[in-house]
Chain A
Amino acid sequence: MPKVTIDGQEVNVPAGTVVVEAARQVGNEIPVFCYHPKLAPVGMCRMCLVEVGTPRLNKDRQVELDVDGKPIINWMPKFQTGCTQVVSEGMAIRTQTSQVAAARKDVLEFLLTSHPLDCPVCDKGGECPLQNLTMAYGPGVSRFDYAVKFHFQKPVHLNNLITLDRERCIQCARCTRFSDEIAGDPVLGFENRGRGMEIVTLSDPPFDSKFSGNTTDICPVGALTTRDFRFRARVWELEDVPSICNHCAVGCNTIIGQRVNDIKRIMPRQNESVNEIWLCDKGRFAHHFANSRQSTLGPPVPSGTHRLETPLIRRGGPQGDRLVPASWPEALKLVAEKLSAAGPDGVYGISGDRLPNEDMYLFQKFFRQVLGSNHLARWPVVARGPVTGTLFQEIGLSSGSNFGKMGKDTSILVVGADAEEEAPIHFLRIKQAGDRGAALIVANPYHTKLEKYGRHCFVYRPGSAAAFVWGLVRAIMDAGLEQKEFLGSRATGLAELQTGMEQYTVARAAELAGVKAEDLQAAAQTFAQAANGVLVIGRELLGSDTDPALPEAIRALLTVTGHIGKAQNGLLPLLPHNNTQGALDMGLDAGPEYRTKWLPGYQPVTDKGTSSGIPASSAIYVIGSDLGSESDLARQALEAAPFVIVQDLLLTETALLADVVLPAAAPMEREGTFTSSERRVQRFKPALQPPGHALPDWWILRELAQVMANAQDKTGWRYDTPADIMAEIAHVVPQYATMAYENLPVPDLPSRKLDYDDSLFYRGTSFLNPGGEGQVWPVKAEDSAVVLQVRWVEPAVAGQPAAGQTWLITRPHLYDAGTLLSQTALLQPQMVPHTWLHVSPADAARWGVAEGAAVSVSTGEDMLSFVVHLDADLPAGIVTAAPARLEGAAGQTRWPVNVTVVNAQRLAS
Chain B
Amino acid sequence: MEQAFVILRHREIPDIQQLGTYIKDGGYEAWKRAVKEMTADQVIDVVKASGLRGRGGAGFPAGVKWSFVPKNVFPKYVVVNGDESEPGTFKDREIIEQNPHQLVEGVALCAYAIQAEIAYIYLRGEFKAPARILQAAIDEAYQAGLLGKNIQGSNYSLNIYLHLGAGAYICGEETALLESLEGKLGQPRLRPPFPANVGLYAKPTVINNVETLANVPPIVRKGAEWYRSFGTEKSPGTKIFCLSGMVKRPGNYEVPLGKIKIRDLIFGEEFGQGLLAEGRTVKGVLPAGASAPVLPESALDTLLDYESVAAAGSMLGSASFIIMDNTVDMVWAATKMVHFFKHESCGKCTPCREGTYWMLNLLEKIDHGHGEQRDVIMLGNVAQQMLGGKCFCLLGDFSTSPVISTLKHFRNEYDAKVQLTPDGGVGTHGAHG
Contacts and interface: CB of A to CB of B under 8 A. Distances in A.
B225 interface: no
Contact of B350 (A41, A76, A110, A148): A110
Contacts, number: 99
Nearest to A43: B190
Nearest to A76: B389
A103 interface: yes
A193 B345 contact: yes
The 10 closest A-B CB pairs, nearest first, are: A78-B389, A197-B347, A79-B389, A110-B354, A194-B345, A106-B385, A194-B347, A113-B354, A193-B347, A193-B346
Given A44-B349, A145-B365, A170-B350, 12 more contacts: A44-B350, A46-B349, A49-B390, A78-B389, A107-B350, A110-B354, A110-B355, A191-B185, A194-B347, A194-B356, A194-B357, A195-B345
Contacts of A196: 347
B226 to A, nearest CB: 36
Contact of B357 (A41, A49, A150, A190): A150
A323 interface: no
Contact residue range for chain B?
20 to 34
B348 interface: yes
B349 to A, nearest CB: 5
B388 A103 contact: yes
B5 interface: no
A195 B389 contact: no
Contact of B390 (A84, A106, A114, A145): A106
Interface string A32-57: 00000000011111110100000000
A147 interface: yes
Contacts of A109: 385
Interface in A99-140: 103, 106-107, 109-111, 113-114
Interface core residue of A43, A76, A189 (most chain B CB under 10 Å): A43
Contacts of A195: 345, 347, 353-354, 357
A45 B350 contact: yes
Nearest to B365: A145
B207 interface: no
Nearest to A84: B190
Given A44-B392, A49-B390, A107 B345 contact: no
Interface core residue of B187, B346, B351, B361 (most chain A CB under 10 Å): B351
A351 to B, nearest CB: 53
A300 B187 CA distance: 46
B390 A79 contact: yes
Nearest to B385: A106
Interface in A191-210: 191-197
Contact of A49 (B347, B354, B361, B389): B389
Interface string A821-857: 0000000000000000000000000000000000000
A461 B141 CA distance: 53
B390 A190 contact: no
Interface in A63-96: 76-80, 84
Contacts of B190: 41-43, 84
A709 B332 CA distance: 95
A147 B432 contact: yes
Interface core residue of B170, B353, B385, B391 (most chain A CB under 10 Å): B353
B168 A193 contact: yes
A194 B358 CA distance: 12
A171 interface: yes
A107 B390 contact: yes
Nearest to B357: A195
A78 to B, nearest CB: 3
A197 B356 CA distance: 14
12 contacts: A41-B190, A44-B348, A44-B392, A46-B349, A79-B390, A107-B390, A145-B361, A150-B357, A193-B185, A194-B345, A194-B356, A194-B357
Contact of B353 (A79, A106, A194): A194
A61 interface: no
B361 A194 contact: no
Interface in A126-179: 143-148, 150, 170-171
A113 B358 contact: yes
B388 A46 contact: no
B378 A143 contact: yes
A85 B394 CA distance: 18
Nearest to B364: A148
B358 A144 contact: yes
B343 interface: yes
Contacts of B385: 106, 109-110
Interface string B370-396: 000000001000000100111110000
B386 to A, nearest CB: 8
A103 B390 contact: yes
Interface in B178-193: 185-187, 190
Contacts of A46: 349-351, 390-392
A77 B390 CA distance: 12
B229 to A, nearest CB: 35
Contacts of B392: 43-44, 46
A143 B356 CA distance: 15
Contact of A113 (B342, B346, B357): B357
Interface in A734-771: none
A309 to B, nearest CB: 53
Contacts of A170: 350
A18 B328 CA distance: 49
B145 to A, nearest CB: 41
Contacts of B378: 143
Contact of B347 (A77, A84, A111, A190): A190
B388 A197 contact: no
A47 B385 CA distance: 13
Contact of A111 (B186, B342, B345, B354): B354
Contacts of A44: 348-350, 392
A114 B354 contact: yes
A111 B350 contact: yes
B351 A107 contact: yes
Contacts of A49: 389-390
Contacts of A114: 353-354, 357
Nearest to B170: A193
A52 to B, nearest CB: 10
Interface in B158-176: 168, 170
A898 B432 CA distance: 77
Interface string A410-421: 000000000000
A113 B392 CA distance: 18
Contacts of A106: 351, 385, 390
Interface in B131-163: none
A169 to B, nearest CB: 11
A106 B350 CA distance: 10
Contacts of B353: 110, 114, 171, 194-195, 197
A847 B364 CA distance: 68
Nearest to A40: B190
Contacts of B347: 171, 190, 192-197
Nearest to A196: B347
B394 to A, nearest CB: 11
A419 B383 CA distance: 52
B396 to A, nearest CB: 10
B243 to A, nearest CB: 30
A81 to B, nearest CB: 8
A79 B388 contact: yes
A194 B343 contact: yes
A191 B358 CA distance: 21
A170 B348 CA distance: 10
A196 to B, nearest CB: 7
Contacts of B186: 193
Contacts of A110: 350-351, 353-355, 358, 385
Nearest to A112: B354
Contact of A189 (B185, B346, B390): B185
A791 B372 CA distance: 90
Interface core residue of B185, B354, B365 (most chain A CB under 10 Å): B354
A783 to B, nearest CB: 47
